[in-house]
Chain A
């Protein structure tokens, strides 16, 4: 291939260039003229804005997480964990959310009926009530945060769960052990003025829902998970004329769900 490269002498002539007048001072002045300061770089305002956005989003998420209802994770006893064999669904009571007596329940996001449909018992004589697992009951009456009346802590006008509802829920549990656990509703009045009312409720609950004799004692049942201690459920006697009208605010432990 023909070499078209210039001779070295020609290249040497071409390499001659005038001396540049550049200097660091001139370059610095050029930077200043362009509005830039030759100094340590600072974090740009955009970066600050982005960082602030992230921090705000994080705080918002944190606040939201604190306000979100915390699922009461219930680990049913080993026997309850066994999946029942498919069986025809027995007509049972309506979910509480649709129960006309529990109109207030509609406010609470206890829409777990979608995930846990009622199923019938696997074998044996067909029971008269729908058999449900303890987990489902928890889903129905889980003391979720939206039911907490924090803004009106002493309000008793809007009962959340009536005694009848509680009884019906307990009755849906076919396992005496779980049922007994559910009945161990520990009443701890937060207001000294309500001590009397609380004792009445405790007494009435004991009368109404006395666990069967074959139920294990409270101490033998382990608590898989405890609900939020600040969870407040308002119980109100609205439909049982035999009981004194009581409205109490109580802290409800996870025993309300399952286990005490």
Chain B
């Protein structure tokens, strides 16, 4: 059973402000001890957190563990959350840090495991096209893309995910990565270039 999740963290500024207000209200309630409010926060942000974790780890179970741990940390540190930032940004920063820690912990994971994870995605995703040939081509291309993304260093991969896949704006990326907006732009450019360099030989060999 698998579905595709293509929802983006996008919206008009008014909608985003409304969403932020809702988050702030829920956080205030959760701080007061209302766990139901925190469950609502969990429901609202678990998907985006999972997407980031999954893109970073390429393993669903690892991503789920990271998301759960991130929410546990958020729950324990609600007092430290400042309302100036978006809750989603704060949460994604926790997720990103956990992904980095996880990558360091499992740095010795073999390439075979990563390849298995990529192949595991193939049967978990849903084919959109009715044409089997198209599906096959798409599967190959997706596998190559994911392999190239997985081969990137974690800091480059995080930039590609946040900017190109999640389409977050630069202030958010800067807040998540703990850098300036200019630094975030520069990192994104470098990450894209690195991904392009990784992907080109893979595409050539496939063709």
Q: Which of B76-96 contact A (CB under 8 A)?
A: 76
**Chain A, 14-25, contact with B by CB distance < 8 Å: what is the 0/1 string?**
111111111010
The answer to whether the Cβ of B189 comes within 8 Å of any Cβ in the partner chain is: yes
Q: Hey, which chain A residues are within 8 Å of B146, CB to CB?
A: 14
Q: Hey, which chain B residues are within 8 Å of A30, CB to CB?
A: 68, 72
Among A5, A15, A18, A38, point to the contact of B60 (Cβ < 8 A).
A18
The answer to whether the Cβ of A34 comes within 8 Å of any Cβ in the partner chain is: yes
The answer to whether the Cβ of B131 comes within 8 Å of any Cβ in the partner chain is: no
The answer to whether the Cβ of A41 comes within 8 Å of any Cβ in the partner chain is: yes
In the complex, A11 Cα to B39 Cα: how many Å?
A: 31
In the complex, A18 Cα to B126 Cα: how many Å?
A: 9
Q: Determine whether the beta carbon of B63 is less than 8 Å from that of A36.
A: no
* Closest partner residue, chain B, to A34 (CB atom): B72
Q: Is the interface of B mostly helix, strand, loop or mixed?
A: helix
The answer to whether the Cβ of B64 comes within 8 Å of any Cβ in the partner chain is: yes
Q: Determine whether the beta carbon of B68 is less than 8 Å from that of A15.
A: no
Q: Hey, which chain B residues are within 8 Å of A27, CB to CB?
A: 39, 42, 68, 71
Most buried by B among A6, A18, A20, A38: A18
| Given known A-B contacts A4-B196, A22-B64, A27-B42, A15 and B5 have beta carbons under 8 A apart | yes
Q: Hey, which chain B residues are within 8 Å of A82, CB to CB?
A: none
| Given known A-B contacts A4-B195, A11-B165, A40-B33, A17 and B189 have beta carbons under 8 A apart | no
The answer to whether the Cβ of A12 comes within 8 Å of any Cβ in the partner chain is: yes
* Closest partner residue, chain B, to A26 (CB atom): B68
* Closest partner residue, chain B, to A8 (CB atom): B164
Q: Determine whether the beta carbon of B121 is less than 8 Å from that of A14.
A: no
Q: Is the interface of A mostly helix, strand, loop or mixed?
A: loop
Q: Hey, which chain A residues are within 8 Å of B6, CB to CB?
A: 12, 15-16
Q: Determine whether the beta carbon of B138 is less than 8 Å from that of A13.
A: yes
Which of B16-24, B48-56, B99-107, B170-178 lies at the interface? B48-56
* Closest partner residue, chain A, to B189 (CB atom): A4
In the complex, A13 Cα to B165 Cα: how many Å?
A: 10
The answer to whether the Cβ of B155 comes within 8 Å of any Cβ in the partner chain is: no
| Chain B interface residue count, Cβ-Cβ cutoff 8 angstroms | 46
| Given known A-B contacts A31-B72, A40-B33, A19 and B145 have beta carbons under 8 A apart | no
Q: Determine whether the beta carbon of B71 is less than 8 Å from that of A17.
A: no
Q: How far is the CB of B90 from chain A (nearest CB, A)?
A: 17
Q: Hey, which chain B residues are within 8 Å of A94, CB to CB?
A: none
The answer to whether the Cβ of A10 comes within 8 Å of any Cβ in the partner chain is: yes
Q: Determine whether the beta carbon of B5 is less than 8 Å from that of A19.
A: yes
Q: Determine whether the beta carbon of B145 is less than 8 Å from that of A6.
A: yes
* Closest partner residue, chain A, to B78 (CB atom): A41
In the complex, A67 Cα to B39 Cα: how many Å?
A: 55
Q: Determine whether the beta carbon of B35 is less than 8 Å from that of A17.
A: no
Q: Hey, which chain B residues are within 8 Å of A11, CB to CB?
A: 164-165
**Chain B, 101-144, contact with A by CB distance < 8 Å: what is the 0/1 string?**
00000000000000000000100111000000000001001100
Among A1, A12, A21, A31, point to the contact of B64 (Cβ < 8 A).
A21
In the complex, A22 Cα to B48 Cα: how many Å?
A: 12
Q: Which of A32-81 contact B (CB under 8 A)?
A: 34, 36, 38-41
Among B39, B165, B195, point to the contact of A15 (Cβ < 8 A).
B165
In the complex, A39 Cα to B35 Cα: how many Å?
A: 6
Q: Determine whether the beta carbon of A4 is less than 8 Å from that of B42.
A: no
Q: Determine whether the beta carbon of B68 is less than 8 Å from that of A17.
A: no
Q: Which of B57-77 contact A (CB under 8 A)?
A: 60, 63-64, 67-68, 71-72, 75-76
Q: How far is the CB of A41 from chain B (nearest CB, A)?
A: 5
Q: How far is the CB of B118 from chain A (nearest CB, A)?
A: 12
| Given known A-B contacts A14-B142, A30-B72, A5 and B192 have beta carbons under 8 A apart | yes
Among A19, A22, A28, point to the contact of B1 (Cβ < 8 A).
A19
Among A13, A18, A20, point to the contact of B145 (Cβ < 8 A).
A13
Known contacts A18-B3, A38-B35; 17 further A-B pairs (Cβ under 8 A)? A4-B195, A5-B192, A6-B196, A10-B141, A14-B146, A14-B165, A16-B126, A17-B50, A17-B55, A18-B124, A18-B125, A19-B3, A20-B50, A20-B54, A22-B46, A27-B68, A38-B38
The 8 A-B pairs with the shortest beta carbon distances in the complex, nearest first, are A40-B33, A4-B192, A20-B50, A18-B124, A13-B142, A38-B35, A4-B196, A16-B4
